[in-house]
Amino acid sequence: MKSVITKLALPLLALAACVSSPQTVVDEHAGHAPGAADAATQLTASPRHGEWITVSTGPGDSVRAWVVYPERRTKAPVVIVVHEIFGLSPWIRSVADQLAADGFLAVAPDLLTMKNIAGSPENPDGQAARAAIQTLDMNDVHRQISAVARHAMALPAAAPRYGIVGFCWGGTVSFEHAVRSPDLGASVVYYGTSPAPARLASVRAPVLGLYGSDDARVNATVPPADSAMKALGKTYRPIFYEGAGHGFLRQQDGREGKNLAAATAAWPETISWFRTHLGR
């Protein structure tokens, strides 16, 4: 194994604020998460067991979730996979499958379960999901994520530790969950906005942020969070990938190879972060 140094690309004002620290040892043998174009192939070819479950999250309230079990002899840490604004798509399920391939018990909750989106659960309508997600109460979202995590950690194949990873809207949720959950073991944020600096004092989990350099709306929220996390003595490591855009892990065929390069570099960082902070 060896450390991998990732190039940062930021406006000059932000560059001084966003220094990656601490470093992790990147496992270059970690798998490669599929892009949207490869999701169906990943799911069809996977030798791992995936199944739908329903988790009660409160009176009259439940969440459907896709669970993928790793092929290993020992109990696995849990990773909650938070979907984008497009809902629990086949691509999100393929990402969960890759997390299981890398040794984690992966659980992707459908946070739009109660919205009855057309095409759910296998292939929800993206536009309907996008509209419905704007109506969610974030208190409910985090209550449901915590309930799903507790359920997953109680499974016979699971270790009693969990992390969270999310993409776009789900990335924002993943950082916010670190604010709200004292039991969270690690958070990975893919191109999601950061919480307001004044709200970061409660963060306990180490947070890894993975961003495309050409994503000004999201990236503008990183330097204030980075400064606040440093002042508070919290662990936050933002990494920016040169030339990549928003949604680079899903859209790996975009931006003339820059998104693919970012996805290829970011996934081993993700796996190493979880292995470092959750265990193997």
Nearby residues of 110 by Cβ (< 8 Å), 6 or more positions away: 63, 64, 65, 66, 83, 87, 88, 120, 121, 124
pLDDT(79) > 50: yes
Select the more confidently predicted residue: 36 or 4: 36
Q: Which domains are delineated in the chain?
A: 45-278 (3.40.50.1820)
Q: What is the pLDDT of residue 20?
A: 40
Give tens-digit pLDDT for 231-280.
Answer: 999 999 999 999 999 999 999 999 999 999 999 999 999 999 999 999 98
Judge residue 218's burial from the number of C-beta atoms within 10 Å of its C-beta, 0-12 exposed, 13-18 middle, 19 or more buried. Answer: buried
Percent of the chain with pLDDT over 90: 87
What is the rounded average pLDDT of the residues 15-29?
47
pLDDT(21) > 90: no
Which residue in the block uniquely carries the two structure tokens 């985090």?
142
Select the more confidently predicted residue: 13 or 205: 205
What is the rounded average pLDDT of the residues 74-80?
98
**Summary mean pLDDT of the chain:** 91
Q: What is the pLDDT of residue 28?
A: 59
Q: Is the peptide bond before 11 cis (omega within 30 degrees of 0)?
A: no
Give tens-digit pLDDT for 89-119.
Answer: 999 999 999 999 999 999 999 999 999 999 9
Q: What is the pLDDT of residue 27?
A: 58
